[in-house]
Amino acid sequence: MAQNMVNAFRASNLSRRIGFTLLMLVVFRVGAHIPIPGVNASVIQSLFNSQASIFSLLNLFSGGATATLSIFALSIIPYIDASIIMQLMTVVVPTLEEWSKEGEEGQRRINTWTRWGSVALGTLQSVGISYYLYRYSSNGKYVFIDHTIPSMLLCAAMLLTGTVILMWVGEQITDKGIGNGISLLVFFGIISRLPFGVNHLFQYLTAGVLTWPKLIIFLVIALLLIVGVVVVNEGQRNIPVQYPKRVVGRKVYQGQSSHLPLRVNQAGVIPVIFAISLLVLPYTVANFAKGSWTTWLSHYFGITSPLYIGFEFTLVVLFTFFYTQVVFKVDDVADNMKKAGGYIPGIRPGKPTADYLTRVSTRLTFVGALFLGLVSIVPSFITMGMGINGLYFGGTSLLIVVGVALDTLKQMQAQMLMRQYEGFMKRTPS
């Protein structure tokens, strides 16, 4: 493994890509520590101590930048939301569906609209967060030292600017780095919170809240969940596909056997993000508004309440089925297979093939949906049951970290194999 890593850096092109990626990640981490001017840090800290649940997911993705209200406090969340919306819109908007089938040119148009959608969503979110901070006070002090509307608008402008910069950084990593730019930004944002989680563990051990047996149980369960995520993300069923012999001009192409891989988890982490975004909305509105109903909503629909956890599991399962149908269109797959002359042994081309793929995909999605639902709620039960709620151990972060790590290793391995390197996996001797 160590030798293969050395080989990766010896490849001139790959080493340049890795170096550029590291440089961009340094820019990301430096910006996460540049605070917005005119902000009272003690008031921000009191906000997170009392109502951290409102910004907990945002703070996790930004690598702690939200807790210090830095220029990258809004993170890359608007771009992620815009990308998800564009993917869903390709199903209902014929123009977007045509663009998605036009190859590189269509993808370029979709990316342009995604960027503009990110700016629009970033504007709404930055203004909303700035307005909330403008109204918040602690011990007679406000978040903004100069408690004026211009200070609030300046904060919103800097939050939006930070998001646009991160969007550019992510696209540069995708084009000139090792790929998966946006995912890598979220990945390193989550990883950067790991030392704080370890520090919380030692604090709980020192205070006697957490004992060594509980700690061992916690680490074992966490390891099992990580192994489970890897197994499910890599799990797939290969559907055999047969192509008959073809005659093109004077050339005769022999028939060949191939396979159509159907992954157990085709939706990835998107359903979990969908569910959390939808469930956090009423809780966030309750903290913005005033009235007795907001106290009831915060109590019975807080992120640690059984009602919230039950809804989270249900929505994750439903969104998994929905999003899988969006990304895996069985009718198109069956039609393309028929045009290429391919067929599944024992299944007639056309509609019978589409029906067969639907049945197989539904069974696989059912397993993947249940797994995603369990992964999204099990960490919450573990941390609450052991009284260690301060840890940044959640289903969303776990799925993102493992998924991005696997995808990045695969991309690096593919680039190394193109240059006749062995990659990260050693070949078995024949």
Is the pLDDT at 423 greater than 50, yes or no? no
What is the DSSP secondary structure assignment for residue 428, as one 8-state letter? P
Under 8 Å between Cβ of 156 and 132:
no
When pLDDT is averaged across residues 221-246 and rounded to a whole number, the result is 84
pLDDT recorded at residue 54: 56
Q: Judge whether 70 and 78 are in contact, CB under 8 Å.
A: no
Assign 96 to helix, strand or coil.
helix
Least confident of 23-37, 82-96, 250-264, 398-412: 250-264
Q: What is the pLDDT of residue 394?
A: 64
Can you read off the two tokens belonging to residue 348? 């007639």
pLDDT digits (tens, 9 = 90+) for 174-183: 888 887 888 8
The rounded distance, in Å, linking the Cα atoms of 209 and 202 is 10
At 102, phi and psi to the nearest 5?
A: -95, 10
Question: What CATH superfamily classification does 194-391 receive?
Answer: SecY subunit domain (1.10.3370.10)
Region of poorest pLDDT, from 193-197, 224-228, 281-285: 281-285
- Residue 155 in contact with residue 133, Cβ under 8 Å? yes
DSSP H helical ranges for 73-103: 77-92, 94-100
The percentage of the chain sitting over the pLDDT mark of 70, rounded to a whole number, equals 80
Give residue 154's pLDDT.
92
Average pLDDT over residues 105-119: 89
Q: What is the pLDDT of residue 421?
A: 46
Between 23-37, 107-121, 324-338, 413-427, the lowest mean confidence (pLDDT) is in: 413-427
pLDDT > 70? residue 222: yes
Q: How far is CA 297 from the centre of its chain?
A: 27
Residue 291, pLDDT above cutoff 60? no
Angle between helices 2-10 and 12-31 (to 10 degrees): 100
Average of pLDDT values for 297-318?
A: 78
Angle between helices 41-61 and 270-288 (to 10 degrees): 150
Confidence of residue 304 (pLDDT cuts 50, 70, 90): low
Tokens of 92: 């209902």
Q: Positive or negative, the Cα torsion across 336, 340, 343, 349?
A: positive
Both structure tokens of 254: 């022999």
- Give, in degrees to the nearest 5, the angle at Cα 142 between 141 and 144: 135
In this structure, which topology does domain 12-193 adopt according to CATH?
Answer: Preprotein translocase SecY subunit (1.10.3370)
pLDDT in tens, 145-162: 888 899 999 999 999 999
Write the pLDDT tens digit of every residue in 373-413: 888 888 777 777 766 655 555 667 778 888 888 888 877 77
Where are the domains positioned within the chain? Answer: 12-193, 194-391
**Local confidence band at 430 (pLDDT 50, 70, 90 cut-offs):** very low
CB 190 within 8 A of CB 60: yes
pLDDT at residue 281, rounded to an integer? 67
Confidence of residue 123 (pLDDT cuts 50, 70, 90): very high
Instruction: Tell me whether domains 12-193 and 194-391 share a fold.
Output: yes
Task: Collect all residues with Cβ–Cβ distance below 8 Å to 357 and sequence separation of at least 6.
Answer: 239, 260, 262, 330, 333, 334
Report the predicted TM-score, pTM, of the whole model to 2 decimal places. 0.80
- Kind and range of the H or E run holding 262: strand 256-263
Using CB atoms within 10 Å of the CB of residue 112, give its burial: 0 to 12 exposed, 13 to 18 middle, 19+ buried: exposed
